[in-house]
């Protein structure tokens, strides 16, 4: 177990030079909120506990392990600028800080960020010295139900479907040197039918007279090596790939497409050169993958594709939202694939980019989901809209992501079934998502009470017998209310979109003395397999259903309805689960 988390945190946008700032930081609770008045950002001796970053103070791996409410916390550490960075911009990056962060360097406020799920970066060049103090103040209002917090409970004790909170830094912090002329973002958009890859590059700085170089390789074969003048801070280029692949076996059929069965990836090096000097170099990758819905059928690379997903909360016993190591993120995908699942719905969590990297590399579909607020207000709308925009922008280029899910089970829009204002918000999130990314399907409100959605996602925890009857016909599927909620909100109706059961199962099996619950229960691993067989077969045998998402991958705190324990130990035969998943479709 590597508690420092040394892996590069942004794997689809890698640079050679960087400095990891994870590890031991000074830390303090500020329960009386006096730190700003007393200027702790200048008087850091008040920040005198220690914490292991990037683990929140609520976790065991943080070294503090205190689950009680502390709404304001402070961090402090020193760092030195490495040799050779003197003429470069110095940028500090935070993978995620929950919820509202103020960052100070050498006693000066250098930036602020609101939102607990997304990455932010701050140029600290103007205040940086050889040796530096960085102080971070974090405010995370524990009981504010309008904050997009997902499964983090607003009471001190976990209960029902809600878990221990995460406050403060929970993803990697790192430092990076940049030339004043550098790339700020890259977006990959595969055009599968044309055999092209579109790339959009945001260029920061004085680009006049500079050139961009791009090299694309596939299985160590050079496919593209081109140079072009930079004429705008927003570059968009398209490269034809199909006719450049000399291995003919990779052209016919889908030999070079990205799928869960064959996760083929193209490696890329991008450079900016000016006056014969290398200004920036970024290592990236992409997959040639198309997601579409045609005549009510979900297709991957123009082929009908049945999604066999598992609900994954992304929590860990010792780290909560933060995986103890990169290996743990990879292992969750490997275990899921070992059971015959071809993807996961990352439930109420915006996942670490390292997870998406492994999904890309290993071949695993991902539904990108926003952590929701629990109550509606105009402030809640502002918060989720801003943060969701950043989520889609950050994760757009990952081939593993095949659907966007901004809202779940009417969380934060509890009156959406009949109230126009909340319906407008549901519509707004759907159309916002499509405006940011028209290449993937989006759902307006997974589970029930849909307005406009590309997929009809239904949550049903009833018995196998009842599900078999319900999903015998489309009419039954869209009129039955498994949670006593209509599938469509008032004024909206089914328009022929694919129907998927995006939550079912939840079968509890208690392996020790831990108290917990599930939607139903069994007494042995063999019984768990048999009940899984019944419920999943009811869906596989339906001509109406085009995919499923089983609840869930692992136990989480008081929820004991995982196929694996919270520690990722199998609760039943994974081979038998795989046989069931692969028995049809």
In a domain, residue 2? The reply is no
3-state secondary structure of 526: helix
Q: Are residues 519 and 558 in the same domain?
A: yes
Separation of CA 581 from chain center: 25
Picking from 158, 178, 198, the residue at the C-terminal end of a domain is 178
Q: Are residues 137 and 193 in the same domain?
A: no
| Cβ atoms within 10 Å, residue 109 | 13
Question: 419-458 burial by CB neighbour count: b if 16+ within 10 A, else e?
Answer: eeebbebbbebbebbbebbeebbbbbbbbbbbbbbbbbbb
Q: How many structural domains does the chain have?
A: 3
CATH number at residue 327: 3.20.20.80
Question: Residue 268 corresponds to which tokens in the numbers above?
Answer: 């890329």
In a domain, residue 545? The reply is yes
In a domain, residue 534? The reply is yes
Residue with tokens 């399907």, as numbered in its chain: 441
Is residue 394 within 8 A of residue 171, CB to CB? The reply is: no
What whole-number distance in Å separates Cα of residue 497 and Cα of residue 458? 12
What whole-number distance in Å separates Cα of residue 549 and Cα of residue 501? 6
Q: Are residues 83 and 206 in the same domain?
A: no
Q: Are residues 234 and 250 in the same domain?
A: yes
Cα–Cα distances (Å) from 512 to 268, 281, 515, 566, in that order, read: 49, 52, 8, 12
Picking from 149, 178, 207, the residue at the C-terminal end of a domain is 178
The residues of the chain scoring below 50 in pLDDT are: 1-2, 248, 251-253
In a domain, residue 398? The reply is yes
Residue with tokens 């324990």, as numbered in its chain: 565
Is residue 316 within 8 A of residue 331, CB to CB? The reply is: no
Q: Are residues 380 and 349 in the same domain?
A: yes
3-state secondary structure of 222: strand
Question: Residue 572 corresponds to which tokens in the numbers above?
Answer: 């039943």
Q: Are residues 191 and 110 in the same domain?
A: no
CATH number at residue 227: 2.60.40.10
Picking from 144, 178, 212, the residue at the C-terminal end of a domain is 178
3-state secondary structure of 435: helix
pLDDT at 252: 45
CATH number at residue 50: 2.60.120.260
Is residue 310 within 8 A of residue 553, CB to CB? The reply is: yes
| Cβ atoms within 10 Å, residue 141 | 16
Determine the structural domain holding residue 556 and report its residue range.
Answer: 291-581
Cα–Cα distances (Å) from 100 to 67, 118, 138, 565, in that order, read: 19, 11, 6, 33
pLDDT at 217: 96
pLDDT at 243: 80
Q: Are residues 338 and 273 in the same domain?
A: no
């Amino acid at each position: 177990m590597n508690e420092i988390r040394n892996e590069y945190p942004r794997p689809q946008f890698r640079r050679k030079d960087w400095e990891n700032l994870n590890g031991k930081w000074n830390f303090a609770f500020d329960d009386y909120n006096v730190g700003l008045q007393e200027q702790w950002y200048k008087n850091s001796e008040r920040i005198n506990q220690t914490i292991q970053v990037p683990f929140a103070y609520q976790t065991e791996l943080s070294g503090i392990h205190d689950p009680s409410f502390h709404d304001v916390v402070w961090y402090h550490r020193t760092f030195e600028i490495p040799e050779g960075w003197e003429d470069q911009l110095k940028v500090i990056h935070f993978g995620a800080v929950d919820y509202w962060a103020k960052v100070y360097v050498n006693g000066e406020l250098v930036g602020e960020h609101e939102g607990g799920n997304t990455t932010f970066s701050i140029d600290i060049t103007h205040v940086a010295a050889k040796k530096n103090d960085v102080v971070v103040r974090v405010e995370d209002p524990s009981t504010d139900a309008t904050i997009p917090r997902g499964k983090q409970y607003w009471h001190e004790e976990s209960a029902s479907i809600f878990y221990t909170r995460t406050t403060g830094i929970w993803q990697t912090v790192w430092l990076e040197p940049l030339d004043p002329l550098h790339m700020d973002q890259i977006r990959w958009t595969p055009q599968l039918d044309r055999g092209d890859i579109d790339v959009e590059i945001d260029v920061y700085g004085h680009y006049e007279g500079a050139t961009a170089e791009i090299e694309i390789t596939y299985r160590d074969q050079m496919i593209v090596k081109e140079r072009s003048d930079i004429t705008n801070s927003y570059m968009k280029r398209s490269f034809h790939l199909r006719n450049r692949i000399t291995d003919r076996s990779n052209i016919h059929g889908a030999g070079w497409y990205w799928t869960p069965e064959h996760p083929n990836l193209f490696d890329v090096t991008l450079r900016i050169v000016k006056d014969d000097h290398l200004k920036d170099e970024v290592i990236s990758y992409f997959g040639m993958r198309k997601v579409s819905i045609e005549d009510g059928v979900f297709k991957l690379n123009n082929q009908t594709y049945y999604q066999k997903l598992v609900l994954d909360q992304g929590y860990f016993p010792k780290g909560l939202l933060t995986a103890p190591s990169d290996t743990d993120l990879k292992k969750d995908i490997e275990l899921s694939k070992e059971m015959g699942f071809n993807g996961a719905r990352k439930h109420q969590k915006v996942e670490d980019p390292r997870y998406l990297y492994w999904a890309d590399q290993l071949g695993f579909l991902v539904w990108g989901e926003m952590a929701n607020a629990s109550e509606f207000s105009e402030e809640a709308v502002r918060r989720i809209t801003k943060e969701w925009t950043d989520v889609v922008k950050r994760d757009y280029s990952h081939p593993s992501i095949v659907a966007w899910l901004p809202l779940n089970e009417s969380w934060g829009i509890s009156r959406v079934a009949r109230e126009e204002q909340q319906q407008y918000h549901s519509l707004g999130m759907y159309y916002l998502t499509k405006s940011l990314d028209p290449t993937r399907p989006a759902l307006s409100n997974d589970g029930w009470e849909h307005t406009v959605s590309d997929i009809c996602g239904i949550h049903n925890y009833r018995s196998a017998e009842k599900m078999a009857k319900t999903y015998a016909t489309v009419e039954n599927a869209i009129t039955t209310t498994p949670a006593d909620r209509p599938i469509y909100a008032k004024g909206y109706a089914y328009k022929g979109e694919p129907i998927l059961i995006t939550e079912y199962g939840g079968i509890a099996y208690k392996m020790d003395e831990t108290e917990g619950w599930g939607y139903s229960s069994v007494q042995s691993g063999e019984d768990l397999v048999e009940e899984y067989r019944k419920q999943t077969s009811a869906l596989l045998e339906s001509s109406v259903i085009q995919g499923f998402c089983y609840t869930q991958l692992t136990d989480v705190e008081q929820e004991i309805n995982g196929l694996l324990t919270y520690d990722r130990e199998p609760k039943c035969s994974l081979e038998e689960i795989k046989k069931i998943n692969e028995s049809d479709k």
